[in-house]
Amino acid sequence: MKVYSTDQIKNFTILGNAGSGKTTLAESMLFEGKVIDRRGDVETKNTVSDYTDIEHENKSSVYPTVLYAEFNDKKLNFIDCPGPDDFSNGAVAALTVVDTALMVINAQNGIEVGTEIHNRYIENAKKGLVLVINQLDHDKANFEKAVEVANDRLNKNVTIIQFPVNEGAGFDTFIDVLLMKQYKYSDGGKVTITAIPDDQLEKSNELHAQLVEKAAENDEGLMEVFFEKGNLSEDELRKGIKTGLINRGIVPVLCVSAKKNYGVGRLMEFLCNNLPSPADVPPIKDESGNEIRCEIKGPAAALVFKSSIEQHIGEINYFKVMSGKFTEGMDIINATTQTKERMAQIFSVAGKNRVKVSEIVAGDIGATVKIKGTKTSHTITAPGVNIKFNKIAFPNPKFRTAIKAVTEADEEKLGEALARLHMEDPTIKIEYSKELKQTLIHGQGEYHLNIVKWHLDHTYKIPTEFIAPKIPYRETITKTAQAEYRHKKQSGGAGQFGEVHLIIEPFVEGVSEPSMFKINGKEIKLSLRDKEEQTLPWGGKLVYYNCIVGGSIDSRFMPAILKGIMEKMEEGPLTGSYARDIKVYVYDGKMHPVDSNEISFKLAGRNAFKEAFKNAGPKILEPIYNVDVWVPADRMGDVMSDLQTRRAIVQGMSSEKGFEKISAKVPLAEMNKYSTSLSSLTQGRAIYNMQFSEYSQVPGELQNELLKAYETTQQKED
């Protein structure tokens, strides 16, 4: 395979709703590019793109697949991405390394939920967009409706390049208003190119004029030519389209029937001639804010955008060369981990098919194997190159569950398998919660995590089960309380003795310490000697005061008392949850000259704190999340009603491109399986994200329920 220069490379991703025909289009492009001799089919499970067992079982894409084709002396690198938002990691990663997005639209269904979701990712990434109207051979195909809704919902710069002459079951012909030619297809994708017939000429001229005007708008030089001549040449049109794609000022629309291979060759010709190359787009910035130009003369630096593990091969890292070039056998540095490696082999990749290449230059996409410790979002460079790219900004998790192995002996294997799955898909987040005593798995939705379970059960042969995740509640107090506790134990030999008197009160930032408390009609005067303020790992603070005078407790026992208090803070008296935001004043106590020791005072401090806590107006706090929901206007009422049943407090509403955005604060306890419920309420058209906000007191009725549940659990354990 030849080495292509940066200006001969075109990088794009194929996006769209599930069922729009992305994988079928990719298969036809591979066939046209002579990467394969025969086109596969999703139904017969033999496509290059969907080649894993889970994709065969589901008959749909689950992972982004890196592909390439050589066409008209250009190299087309493209990434076929899954449609469902549960697998958004693919679209986000792909948009980081390509310059343009091809949005495949099912002509019978028009703009679907996946189309809208992927369009948001494209907008966030500020990438050019090309619309490919597919399945025009379906009897319910409606090209004009699809274009009209795309212009309304996706981008106002939608511009028709091609339109069908006979959409529907007999579709085989379209007009190309860029070339002003008619394309008529027969079986196998063979094409006859002719002049535009008279009955289509008026419409074609009108659309050509619109294309010329839109192309001119994107380039000042072309605008001058347009004003002078009233038209643009084919080369000038291409220049205007390329500039428009870079600045998102034009969204070309093309026609295909990917299954019949109608229009695919012309689409690839359009991509070769009009898409910007990596050399055309503005430079990107690294972590330090330095501009990195995509040119072969620059320092060698690449970004890893996908990592996977394949049987018989091991780890494969897919990367884009952002600058310079890499050669086979080259020593490299992982700039993220600062480890040295060697790039023993370099491949151009089409699914599971790999072709060895001797070098890979700026702008190109390739893969390498056996580079230890290198993962998605890592930067690899030549030695001495001081470049590190920003990490890929994957979406926050939206769904969580607890997981455990059916057999306890498999727990260690489960941990290793989950770590591998996270390596392949960074949107799968794994954590062991010491607080909840659960392994939690976070993902983009229920479907996403069901795929994880499939791999655990089938790929790793570890039977697992999902269980409801516990809520990380917190405990605190609302008023001042006093307690004292004497620990005394005599067992023949040396005894144990320690007595602690303490006062606790709520911690409030900025409030000064009192010198006297009045509790139960009794005044207690304090002399503050030492203060220790701890920011707790689980949030909030503990402030510990030594107010001992007269030596009633030796200073060497004060750390032991604090240790006992901390033990109870880690397992709160109400529900066993972490306690927070408390001040503790140890002001008196007693020692024994022989029997007092650290364990005695630790236990005395622990039990005195527990007693005071129960009398200090204890409250349970629950985690509250900021939740943003984007919902179609016609489903607004249903979603609002559902949020109200979840104890949501709506913070505001706004409109964004035909969607209503609802911003609310919602308790985490009410968000379990929300992604599934929201999808059901809106037929999958709404999306949401959530981010931790704060802890807030739970309502009284809920607190009573939690206390009873904890008490029942404790009785069972006893």
In whole angstroms, give the CA distance from residue 642 to residue 717. 37
**DSSP β-bridge partners for residue 441:** 401, 430
What confidence tier does 393 reach under pLDDT thresholds 50, 70, 90? very high
Q: Residue-wise over 226-258: b if at least 16 C-beta within 10 A, else e?
A: beeeeebeeebbbbbbbbbbbebbbbbbbbbbb
Asked if domains 399-470 and 621-701 share a fold, the reply is yes
Q: Parallel, antiparallel, or unpaired: how do β-strands 541-546 and 474-476 relate?
A: unpaired
The predicted-structure confidence for 148-173, as pLDDT tens digits, reads as follows 999 988 999 999 999 999 999 999 99
Dihedral (Cα; 335, 338, 342, 343), 10-degree rounding: -20
Q: Parallel, antiparallel, or unpaired: how do β-strands 74-80 and 173-176 relate?
A: unpaired
Where are the domains positioned within the chain? 6-210+249-274, 284-381, 399-470, 475-617, 621-701
Between the ranges 159-163, 230-234, 572-576, 670-674, where is the mean pLDDT highest? 159-163
In whole angstroms, give the CA distance from residue 146 to residue 204. 18
Length of the chain: 718
Q: What is the pLDDT of residue 492?
A: 65
Q: What is the pLDDT of residue 56?
A: 87
Q: Parallel, antiparallel, or unpaired: how do β-strands 429-433 and 438-443 relate?
A: antiparallel
CA 688, 690, 695: angle at the middle one, nearest 5?
A: 150
Q: How far is CA 379 from CA 148, 337, 423, 616, in A?
A: 42, 9, 15, 53
User: What H or E segment, with its residue span, contains residue 561?
Assistant: helix 558-570
In whole angstroms, give the CA distance from residue 182 to residue 681. 45
In whole angstroms, give the CA distance from residue 92 to residue 395. 8
**Of 227 and 320, which is predicted with more confidence?**
320
Percent of the chain with pLDDT over 90: 76
In whole angstroms, give the CA distance from residue 258 to residue 263. 8
R_g (Cα) of the chain, nearest Å:
32
List Cβ neighbours of 427 (8 Å cut-off, separation of 6 or more). 88, 89, 394, 395, 397, 443, 444, 448
Q: 475-617 — its CATH code?
A: 3.30.230.10
List Cβ neighbours of 170 (8 Å cut-off, separation of 6 or more). 137
What confidence tier does 299 reach under pLDDT thresholds 50, 70, 90? very high
What confidence tier does 366 reach under pLDDT thresholds 50, 70, 90? very high
Q: What is the pLDDT of residue 718?
A: 52
Q: For 6-210+249-274, which CATH class?
A: alpha beta
**Of 311 and 548, which is predicted with more confidence?**
548
Q: Is the dihedral of CA 405, 409, 415, 418 positive or negative?
A: negative
Q: How far is CA 491 from CA 485, 494, 500, in A?
A: 20, 7, 21
Tokens describing residue 86: 């549960």
**DSSP β-bridge partners for residue 162:** 176
Question: What is the mean pLDDT of the segment spanning 650-670?
Answer: 89
Contact status, residue 463 vs residue 471, Cβ threshold 8 Å: no
CATH for 399-470, options being 3.40.50.2300, 3.30.390.50, 3.30.70.870, 2.130.10.10: 3.30.70.870
Contact status, residue 146 vs residue 240, Cβ threshold 8 Å: no
The predicted-structure confidence for 554-597, as pLDDT tens digits, reads as follows 999 999 999 999 999 999 889 989 999 999 999 999 999 888 89
In whole angstroms, give the CA distance from residue 660 to residue 637. 11
Q: What is the pLDDT of residue 716?
A: 67
Q: What is the DSSP string of 370-399?
A: --TT--TT-EEE-TT----PPPP-PPPP-E
What confidence tier does 713 reach under pLDDT thresholds 50, 70, 90? confident
Give the CATH architecture of domain 621-701.
2-Layer Sandwich (3.30)
In whole angstroms, give the CA distance from residue 441 to residue 433. 10
The predicted-structure confidence for 252-269, as pLDDT tens digits, reads as follows 999 999 999 999 999 999
Question: What is the mean pLDDT of the segment spanning 184-213?
Answer: 94
The predicted-structure confidence for 498-516, as pLDDT tens digits, reads as follows 999 999 999 998 888 888 8
What confidence tier does 1 reach under pLDDT thresholds 50, 70, 90? confident
Is it the case that residue 717 has pLDDT exceeding 80?
no
Question: What is the mean pLDDT of the segment spanning 471-478?
Answer: 95
Q: State whether residue 340 is helix, strand or coil.
A: strand
Q: What is the pLDDT of residue 412?
A: 92
Tokens describing residue 94: 């792909």
Count the Cβ atoms, other than its own, within 10 Å of residue 417.
21
Half-sphere exposure of 248 (CA within 13 A, CB side): 13
Contact status, residue 304 vs residue 333, Cβ threshold 8 Å: no
Residue 650 class from Cβ within 10 Å (0-12 exposed, 13-18 middle, 19+ buried)? middle
Q: What is the pLDDT of residue 573?
A: 87
pTM, rounded to two decimals: 0.85
Among candidate residues 628, 620, 623, 672, the one with its CA nearest the CA of residue 646 = 672
Q: For 284-381, which CATH class?
A: mainly beta
Q: What is the pLDDT of residue 672?
A: 87
Q: What is the pLDDT of residue 658?
A: 65
Contact status, residue 232 vs residue 243, Cβ threshold 8 Å: no
Tokens describing residue 516: 């006297």
Q: What is the pLDDT of residue 547?
A: 94
The predicted-structure confidence for 323-351, as pLDDT tens digits, reads as follows 999 999 999 999 999 999 999 999 999 99
**Of 645 and 231, which is predicted with more confidence?**
645
Tokens describing residue 534: 């701890």
Contact status, residue 11 vs residue 98, Cβ threshold 8 Å: yes
In whole angstroms, give the CA distance from residue 352 to residue 507. 59
The predicted-structure confidence for 265-292, as pLDDT tens digits, reads as follows 999 999 999 999 999 999 999 999 999 9
Q: What is the pLDDT of residue 657?
A: 65
In whole angstroms, give the CA distance from residue 440 to residue 452. 13
**Of 91 and 519, which is predicted with more confidence?**
91
- Looking at every residue in the chain, the average pLDDT score rounds to 93
**DSSP β-bridge partners for residue 497:** 488
Contact status, residue 274 vs residue 241, Cβ threshold 8 Å: yes
